[in-house]
Amino acid sequence: MSEYNYPQAFEKLRQLVAGIHPLPDDAWQALAAGWQPFSCGRKTCLTRPGEPERFLYFVCEGIQRVFHIDEHLREATLVFMYPPSFGGVLDSILLQSPATYYYETFTPSAFLRLPVPLLHALMEQHPHISTLVRKGLAHTFSGVLHRLAELQTCSAEERLRALLQRSPHILQLVPHKYLANYLGMDATNFSKLLNQVRF
């Protein structure tokens, strides 16, 4: 993949942070100092169940997913992550316990990433960073509740239409079988439905 412009990524991180909870200068300097650039190819598994999540990621480029595989090898795609947003197995980061989910890249991806122990130390030292994390999580939680409501109330076609409205470009970037899984349908039904909706 091409080299990502990381100085620009720090500016995007600053903008995202400012949109959630503006930090005083000393807190921002302390937070900004801890992030390291990282990039990888498609289908790279960044976190596995049983391992603690080691980083909080800031997604600069690419799409990833957090997913679950059960004992019957059934897969559930739980969340997609796009730039500019935070990524990683968030419950493992906050609980500092082994992850129960996978975090993998869908497309070649570029990140800034912050070691989890450093994040916790910064939250202890800077109440504003603690507030930033709490508010950021509240937004994430709100998104998860919205998705749960959508899964339980909307038909498959409505869920597909909603996805196409929110992120039409994703059809050209991500294998449709993962989109089908995210929407709670099998790949064949997804293709049939997509053809009905589009053609």
Partner 1 sequence: MVCAAATSFVAQTLNMRTPQPALPLLKSLEERTEQQLQTALRVFQNLAPAALNSAPAPGRWSVAACLWHLNSYGDHYYPRIAAALKKGGPQATHFTSTWLGAYFTKMMEPGPGMKKIKTFKSHEPPLSANDPVADVHEFIRQLEWLLVLLREAREADLNRIRIPITLTTLIRLRLGDVFQFIVAHNERHVQQALRACATHHAGDVLSTTVNVVP
Judged by the rule CB under 8 A, the positions of this chain that interact with partner 1 are 1, 41-44, 108, 171-177, 187-188, 191, 195, 199
The 3-state DSSP class for residue 94 equals helix
Nearer to partner 1, 76 or 171 (CB): 171
Residue 64 beta carbon to partner 1: minimum distance, rounded to whole angstroms:
14
Nearer to partner 1, 133 or 193 (CB): 193
Measured CA to CA, the distance from residue 145 to residue 150 in angstroms comes to 9
Contacts of 60 (CB under 8 A, 6+ apart): 4, 6, 9, 12, 83, 84, 109, 110, 111, 112
Residue 57 beta carbon to partner 1: minimum distance, rounded to whole angstroms:
20
Nearer to partner 1, 98 or 108 (CB): 108
Residue 185 beta carbon to partner 1: minimum distance, rounded to whole angstroms:
14
Nearer to partner 1, 166 or 199 (CB): 199
Q: Do 112 and 57 touch, CB atoms closer than 8 A?
A: yes
The vertex-16 CA angle with 14 and 18, nearest 5°, equals 65
Contacts of 11 (CB under 8 A, 6+ apart): none
Other C-beta atoms lying within 10 Å of the C-beta of residue 135: 13
Residue 187 beta carbon to partner 1: minimum distance, rounded to whole angstroms:
6
